[in-house]
Amino acid sequence: MVITIGQASLETERGDISQAKVDAVVNAANNHLWMGSGVEGALKRAGGLEIERAAVAKGPVQVGEAVVTNGGALPARYVIHAAVMGQDLRTDQSKIRQATKNALMRARELGIGSVAFPALGTGVGGFPPEEAAEAMIDECVSFISSESAPSLKKILFVLFSDDVLRAFERRLHGRN
């Protein structure tokens, strides 16, 4: 599904974020930026250990913050590590909103045209996909509507399962 807001599009697809052909992919990170399982593991396996080493060197960070590393062997040039949970492995809508906003701010600072997000907090964090979709899509719409991201033309949500994809598509459809 695709919706357009101004000059930018918000899109959904089912797939593996480590294979996304965008300028940057967002990693659903913990605040120490260690890369374990889920999205982190997929990015580390596909992109190489150098991504984790570079991320850990920039941590720990506050939950909600985001830092940038190179993309290693990934198709994406950069990885934006968005700390959506702490060591308790718990998250909430406020943390997801803040991590999304800060990831978008890093994308703006990089001057890139496209970024791919996973469903932040829905894996290890166990957060409901519908609520994650609401938080993330609302932050993305607010960000691109504020004209603070002139270079960012495409925000892609790469979702691993059908139920999460449906949750994001329902939220996007409601914004259309």
The pLDDT tens digits of the residues spanning 89-118 come to 899 999 999 999 999 999 999 999 999 999
Q: What pLDDT is recorded for position 175?
A: 72
Report the alpha-carbon distance of residue 83 to residue 168 in Å, rounded: 20
Non-local (6+) Cβ contacts of 142 within 8 A are none
Q: 49: which residues sit within 8 A by CB, 6+ positions away? A: none
pLDDT of residue 38: 84
Per-residue pLDDT tens over the stretch 144-172: 988 655 799 999 999 999 999 999 999 99
For the record, the structure tokens of 172 come out as 């996007």
Percent of the chain with pLDDT over 90: 86
Domains of the chain listed by start with CATH number: 2-175 (3.40.220.10)
Please give the structure tokens belonging to residue 56.
Answer: 């850990």
Is the model's pLDDT at 78 over the cut of 80?
yes
Q: The whole model's pTM is what? A: 0.96
- What's the CA gap between 112 and 105, in Å, rounded? 11
Tokens in use for 78? 């950069």
Mean pLDDT computed over every residue of the chain: 95
> Which strand ranges, in their side-by-side order, compose the sheet holding 114-117?
2-5, 8-14, 154-159, 114-117, 24-30, 78-85, 66-70
Give Cα 1 to chain centroid, integer Å: 17
Secondary structure element (H or E) that encloses residue 27, with its range: strand 24-30
What is residue 148's predicted lDDT score, i.e. its pLDDT?
59
Is 124's pLDDT higher than 90?
A: no
